[in-house]
């Protein structure tokens, strides 16, 4: 399990049975305390590993809602209320 972008809260619910039955592991990492040179190496390695998967569609963003830019306040409220399950995309005219 990899979690990136914990902007709102660090709390989560994990199905421990699913972890144990599938012999999975959870490893913690924080880029907030990494030295710049180390962070650069991590980002470069992630790019090499992930960009091909993004390019061919194996990795995709989960889109919750697409809204027009003039409804940005509605989008922000959806995020604050924890109703969004994925990214909210704002379209620009």
Note the pLDDT tens digit of each residue in 60-83. Answer: 889 999 999 999 999 999 989 988
pTM reported for the whole predicted model: 0.45
Same domain? 7 vs 31: yes
Same domain? 55 vs 68: no
Same domain? 6 vs 30: yes
Residue 11 has pLDDT above 60, yes or no: yes
Radius of gyration of the chain (CA): 17
Residue range(s) defining the domain that contains residue 67: 61-93
Same domain? 71 vs 34: no
Q: How many domains does the chain have?
A: 2
Output b/e per residue, 61-71; b: 16+ Cβ within 10 A. Answer: eeebbebeeee
Same domain? 41 vs 82: no
pLDDT of residue 74: 93
How far is it, in rounded angstroms, from Cα 59 to Cα 88? 17
Contact yes or no for 59/53 (Cβ under 8 A)? yes
């Amino acid at each position: 399990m990899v979690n990136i972008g914990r902007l709102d809260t660090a709390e989560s619910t994990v199905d421990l049975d699913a972890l144990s039955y599938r012999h999975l592991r959870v490893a913690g990492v924080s880029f907030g305390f990494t030295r710049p040179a180390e962070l650069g190496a991590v980002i470069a390695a992630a790019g090499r590993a992930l960009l091909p998967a993004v390019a061919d569609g194996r990795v995709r963003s989960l889109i919750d809602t697409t809204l027009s830019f003039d409804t940005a306040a509605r989008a922000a409220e959806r995020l604050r209320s924890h109703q969004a399950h994925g990214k909210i995309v704002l379209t620009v005219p």
